[in-house]
């Protein structure tokens, strides 16, 4: 973060799903053509082993970054919108895989999305889904030491209020779990 009086090192990037779909290596080329500087990569689908976890795919991302001059800015787990972290039994393994992938590709942030089926708010009542939050907290607590050891951060992106998000972060109590803030979510 820039200190007062210093220029911020601001870079503009894009999510791969905005440029041809999740898990699409061509997003690196498209981002470069658009004059962007980075791409958030995500897995193509929700299998037991996420598509970006193999050495072959990671090597392909490294080569695409080199060829295009793009930075792999972050890893995104938007699959948790349709396959909720709170309920999908593959969730803990996905966290480990995303952590390992981010570390292997030299990026620090990991977006954990909580929208759609994965939303932690009940659409009808607007109340927190307490049982889901409890499961998410336990899964994040279990993954946080691995994330911290690998130098990555699990960032929560949701519709939750600041108060509810801070309550989750306090319960997890790890610097490796933070908020992934998108200004569109607050509007």
Tell me the pLDDT of the chain (187 aa) as tens digits: 456 666 667 778 899 999 988 999 999 999 999 999 999 999 998 999 999 999 999 999 999 999 999 999 999 999 999 999 999 999 999 999 999 999 999 999 999 999 999 999 998 998 999 999 999 999 999 999 999 999 999 999 999 988 999 999 999 999 999 998 877 776 6
* Strand pairing report for 109-114 and 177-179: unpaired
Tokens standing for residue 156: 């929560």
pLDDT of residue 11: 79
The residue ranges of DSSP E strands in the chain, in sequence order, are: 13-15, 38-41, 71-77, 109-114, 153-158, 177-179
0.95 exceeded by pTM: no
Side-chain-side CA neighbours of 143 within 13 Å: the count stands at: 26
Whole-number Å distance between alpha carbons of 168 and 149: 21
Contact 51, 45 (CB under 8 A): yes
């Amino acid at each position: 973060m820039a200190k007062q009086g210093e220029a911020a090192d601001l870079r503009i990037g894009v999510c791969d799903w905005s440029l041809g779909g999740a898990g699409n290596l061509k997003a690196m080329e498209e981002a470069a053509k658009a004059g962007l500087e980075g791409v958030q990569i995500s897995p193509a689908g929700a299998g037991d082993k996420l598509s970006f976890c193999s050495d072959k795919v990671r090597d392909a991302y490294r080569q695409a970054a080199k060829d295009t001059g793009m930075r792999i800015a972050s890893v995104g787990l938007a699959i948790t919108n349709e396959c909720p972290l709170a309920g999908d039994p593959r969730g803990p393994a996905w966290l480990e895989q995303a952590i390992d992938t981010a570390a292997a590709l030299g990026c620090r942030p990991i977006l954990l999305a909580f929208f759609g089926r994965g939303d932690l708010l009940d659409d009808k009542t607007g109340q927190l889904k307490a049982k889901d939050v409890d499961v998410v907290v336990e899964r994040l607590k279990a993954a946080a030491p691995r994330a911290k050891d690998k130098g990555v951060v699990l960032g929560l992106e949701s519709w939750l209020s600041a108060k509810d998000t801070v309550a989750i972060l306090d319960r997890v109590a790890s610097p490796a779990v933070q908020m992934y803030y998108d200004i569109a979510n607050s509007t």
